[in-house]
Structure formats: structure tokens, C-alpha cells
Amino acid sequence: MALKTLQLPYNSARPSSYSFSPSSPCYQPKLPPRLDTRAAVTVKKHQKRTTSVLKCKADLHGCMDEVVQNPKDQITEIPIVMYPSVVFPGATLQLQEFEFRYRIMMHTLLQQGLKFGVIYCGKNGRMADVGCIVHVIECERLIDDRFFLTCVGKDRFRVMEIVRTKPYVVARIQVLNEQPSLEPQDDLGSLMQQVEQHLENVAMLSDKLNLKLRGDLKAEQLCRMHSAASFSFLIARLFIDDHLERQTLLQMNDTTQRLAREGMYLERRSKYLAAIAAIKDAFDHLSCNEK
């Protein structure tokens, strides 16, 4: 694709090593070959530019983990950007736009509203049918007409129809809302605590094995107090590595089910790490005895 990503450290973007099977909940729209072959994103360190001629900002305070609820069955049309990772509500993206068609897109967004859809696309060019709407909170336009964007993920959406593919993809989408939980608040809080406990086990074992955890557990613990939904999205985007699993979590409309699935994923992960740690301890013990 025509955007370079300048991701924050905890939300790294890297090409997916997974591909969707025909039974996966995704499809491949009839896009021009050029769009598929050039759908790539490279990660680079963000550097401050001094040649900007236009800047616009929005208030970032309170945006990071807020889940915005929209009227049910809201249908709209927005530009779509295919991305090599799954973007969740609350995620922060820093993007560099440089290709001509996306410059056109940005000029349109500056007039009609600074938001667009981001949707996961693997190496095979297949696009999932559920993505995340991102709102541009800071836009820096350079003299050479490139743009540097800081965006925050907001609502999830489902692609209903591809409206056009040139000069950039525009789709008709349906905004997705979280289903009201049928579980009592106490049970939902207990489920959140279970997920956090599994996460702490994974963090402890990762530290023992000198493995770097994707997210910063200590820095993010208080974020769970916002809501169960925002906590589930936080866990998914920071601590779930598998792209297909992340896409499945994004597509789930029930917070309780999402938290339960995340708990099972983290529990399996902690058991795997515990087995690796036990094998490592056994080899270390044998080595000490031989000496």
C-alpha cells in the first residue's frame, strides 16, 4: 500500500505471516492488480519534519480507550486502506502517506472529514470483511504534498460492498456495535480479573525465559478500569500476536465472549511457556550435575 507506518512501540506493524483459508470470514474484492501488488507497509522511525505547511490537530485526551457507540445498523461510505495488521478501537497509528492516490484521498478527507477505514490484508492480498474506522487527530502536510498522520481507532465496521477502486478504494460499510452483556457486572469483573491473572503469568514466565512481552503490562493495568469492552480491545491489540486470532477477536460483537477467548488464549500461552521453562530448568540441572 502507499502508507508508511510510524507505529508507537506497543503497536508494531509487521507483514503478516498468515494467510486466510477459503473458510475464513474474509473475501478478496476485485481490485486492480496494481493495488494488490503494491499493498505493502514498511516500518520506519518517526522523524520530526520542519518543512510542513499545514497542520491540524484534534484533542487526543480521552480517545485512547473510549469505545464509541453509534446507532444500530448505521450504513455509510468511507475510503478503505488495507493494512498488514489488525487495528482495534483505541489503537494509535502514525502513518506516512506518499503515493499519489492516497494524496488525493487526503485532500478529500480534509474537506469531508478526517476518518477512513483500516482493514487487515495478508500477504496474499485477501482482505478481511471487518475492520476499524480510524480518526485523524493530527495531520501534517509537507511542501512536497506528503502527509504525516496520527490516527486513533474508533468504531468497528463490516464491509457491505466495494463502491469503487480508483483512485483509491471506497466501500459501503455497516458500523458494528458491542452487544449488551447478559452477564451480571460482578461476573464480568471476575472474567476481567481472570484474563489479567493469565496475563501476569505470561509476563512472569516471559521474564524468566528472557522473552520480551509485546505490551507493557505495568503501564497499561489501569486502562482496564475504563470499561470491559475497552479492556478486551486493549488485551487483543497489545498481547495477542497471531493475526488470525486478532481478526477473530475484532469480529466478535460480544465483550464477554471476547474476554473469555482472550483468557483461553493467554492460558494456553502460559502453559506453553511453563513447559519451556521446565525443560530449560531440567537441562540446567543436568548441566550442573555433570560439572
- Please report, for the chain, the start and end positions of each structural domain, with discontinuous segments joined by +: 3-176, 185-290
- Residue 110 burial by Cβ neighbours in a 10 Å radius (0-12, 13-18, 19+): middle
Instruction: For residue 224, give the 3-state DSSP assignment.
Output: helix
Give the pLDDT confidence score for residue 287 in this predicted structure: 67
What DSSP assignment string belongs to 64-118?
TT------TT-EEEEEEEEESS---TT-EEEEEE-SHHHHHHHHHHHHH-SEEEE
Q: At what angle do helices 228-239 and 185-208 cross, to 10 degrees?
A: 20
Helix ranges restricted to H, the chain:
33-37, 100-112, 185-208, 217-220, 228-239, 243-251, 255-290
As a whole number of angstroms, the distance between CA 120 and CA 13 comes to 11
Q: At what angle do helices 255-290 and 228-239 cross, to 10 degrees?
A: 40
As a whole number of angstroms, the distance between CA 252 and CA 274 comes to 29
Give the pLDDT confidence score for residue 1 in this predicted structure: 44
Give the pLDDT confidence score for residue 5 in this predicted structure: 53
pTM of the model: 0.72
pLDDT per residue as tens, the chain (291 positions): 455 555 444 333 333 322 222 233 333 333 333 433 333 333 333 344 434 445 555 544 334 344 444 445 588 999 999 899 999 999 999 888 777 888 889 889 988 889 999 999 988 888 999 999 999 999 888 888 888 999 999 999 999 999 999 999 999 999 999 887 666 777 888 899 899 899 889 989 988 888 877 666 664 565 556 788 999 999 999 899 899 999 999 999 999 999 999 999 999 999 999 999 899 888 776 766 665
As a whole number of angstroms, the distance between CA 140 and CA 148 comes to 5
Q: Where do we find the cell 477473530?
A: 248
Give the pLDDT confidence score for residue 86 in this predicted structure: 96
Give the pLDDT confidence score for residue 138 in this predicted structure: 92
Q: Where do we find the cell 487527530?
A: 137
Give the pLDDT confidence score for residue 137 in this predicted structure: 93
Superfamily of domain covering 3-176: LON domain-like (2.30.130.40)
As a whole number of angstroms, the distance between CA 75 and CA 244 comes to 26
